[in-house]
Amino acid sequence: MNRRVTIRDIRQSDNPFLSKIVKGTLAEFGANHPNTVYYDPTTDTLYELFQKPGAAYFVAEIDEEIVGGGGIYPTDGLPADTCELVKMYLLPNARGAGLGRTLIEKSLVFAEEAGYKNVYLETMPELKQALKVYARFGFEYLNGPMGNSGHTGCSLWMLKSLRSSTG
């Protein structure tokens, strides 16, 4: 049985579904720590958050059901040429089929088209599968955080340099 997969831009009506997915995934992996997106009030209003210039959030659907998302955000305190890969979460039934990879690819294409040279991310050791995926995309570990995300509960930081086709 074929499932119809759609990747689209975020809509305001997606807010409650995405908040539940983000928080549920963190709780599932025991990563619902203080000072993470689990407790960040913007997790409940992702549509509004991603209206900022230089930001984009992509929603994944399977058979018209929201199963996750991820995006790019110009986090405060990062260099002007660096954005952050953020809020990359999928429901269990959407994992393992390449959907996370597709969301990351779409986010990286957006980042490059928006003129960013580097993509930063913050994560936690509990999210082991995600760490492997990020490494496959060429993200490399940093010794400490960049920018001012406010998510001091994250203990792993990674950075990827984008290959510009014009440079």
- Tell me the per-residue pLDDT of 82-126, one tens digit each, with 9 for 90 and over: 999 999 999 999 998 899 999 999 999 999 999 999 999 999 999
Domain count, the chain: 1
Residue 141 falls within a domain, yes or no? Answer: yes
Domain-embedded: residue 96? yes
Domain annotation covers residue 83: yes
Q: Report the predicted TM-score, pTM, of the whole model to 2 decimal places.
A: 0.93
- What's the mean pLDDT when you consider all of the chain? 93
Q: Would 167 be classed as within a structural domain?
A: no
| pLDDT value, residue 24 | 96
Phi (first) and psi of residue 142, to 5 degrees: -110, 165
pLDDT for res 97: 85
CB 65 within 8 A of CB 26: no
pLDDT at 167: 40
Tens-digit pLDDT profile for residues 44-86:
999 999 999 999 999 999 999 999 999 999 999 999 999 999 9
Task: Provide the domain limits for residue 25.
Answer: 5-161
Provide Rg for the chain, Cα atoms.
15
125: domain CATH number is: 3.40.630.30
